[in-house]
Structures are given as structure tokens and as C-alpha cells.
Structure 1
Amino acid sequence: MSSHQTIGNNPSQSTVVRALARDGSGRNLRQDIGQAPGFDPAAMLVRFPDVVAMTGLARATIYKRLKDDPTFPRPVPLSGSTSRGAPVGFVLAEVQRWARERIDARETTA
């Protein structure tokens, strides 16, 4: 079974996340992002569950990284609210860059 979720601010674009594989819990294991022409990861915002799926980190670990790790991507407020639980997004390119840096660090420490 495949689910579709629009990513970003423009639902009319054909940028869609497709769940290509799932484990027993129903979590997305692999996602196909950005096959649309003009796709720009620097201008694409993804939500918290997408960051969890892309990094493999638990939600609590992401909060800890936000507090303690200056290299972890900073969230972008999606509303004028500053209250706890206000919606945020993350810049896709920054999340991807952070993941690549972690992979590169593995190669230099091995």
C-alpha cells in the first residue's frame, strides 16, 4: 500500500513523498522526494516526521540535538506563534547536508 503526502507550501506541484517501503510499524523507510522539474531542496520545507524518517533519529534525540548540537539544522517557524507545539519545518537541503556530513565523518574516523 502506498501513501502520498504533499511536501512544501504548494500542493499543486507534483512534488510528492511516496512511501516505497515500510516496516511492521508502518513507518516510512525510504522516500522518493522531488522528481518534479524545478525542484529546489534549498527552498523545500519538510515537517518533523520527515526529519525523523530521513535521519533515523527519534523525536527526543532530535530535540536533544537542537539543544546541544550547533551543526544540526535549525527549525523554521511556520506560524507567528512562539508557544510550545507551534508548527515548524526544516529546510530539506540542510537536513540532507547534515546527514552527508555524518556519513563523511564516519569515513574519516574509520
Structure 2
Amino acid sequence: MTGLAPNAMTDAATLEVPLEPVPAAQVLHGAPESGWTALTDTVGVWVHTPGVSTDVEEDELFVVLAGRATVTFPDVDAAPLDLGPGSVGRLAAGTATVWTVTETLRKVYVSGGG
């Protein structure tokens, strides 16, 4: 875990993010890897390599820095999110998602409500 001290900065586009295989129970296609580096208790950088996987979300606001993906919501009536650099999105806690990542996705997230 990397911390970000007050009155400091980091380059989220190049910050090292350790990756691990997505758990097999969550993989729908391919062999994606993902990981995150926390900057504070509620802010971090998350990366997901190409592939398709499922997740259950936390309250989160995010900004995509790089990559391409589509997020679908199998259990709620919501339009798919087509993500690319500059996309800003919000996810609700407890929402089931399917992430179809076509180019390694890197995002900065802020979690915890709001």
C-alpha cells in the first residue's frame, strides 16, 4: 500500500499497482488481473487487464485515466457504461457488475458514499 501524504502529489498514470489474477469464481472470459494501490483511506488507483469479470461494488466515484471497458448491471435497470480516458462514473454499494475490459483500464477512485 502506498500512502499519499498531505500537501503531496503522485502521478496516478504511472503509479505502480501490483496485479493478481482475478479470482476464478469472478472470471467470465479470459485471464484478467487486477489490483489497486491505496492513496488514502478512501482514494486509490485501480487497474484491470483485458478480460471479463464480475464484481459487487462499493459506493464509488471514479475517473478513468487509461484503457477501455464496458460495465453492465445484470440485476438493475441501468444503461451500460462505456468507459474510456476521461470518463467519470459513479457506482452504488451492493450493485452487481460485469466488467468487460478491452484495453487495460486504470482509474482513480474515491469510495465511501456521497
TM-score normalized by structure 2?
A: 0.30
Between Structure 1 and Structure 2, the one with more helix by share is 1
Between Structure 1 and Structure 2, the one with more strand by share is 2
Bigger RCO of structures 1 and 2 (CA < 8 A, at least 6 apart) = 2
TM-score normalized by structure 1?
A: 0.31
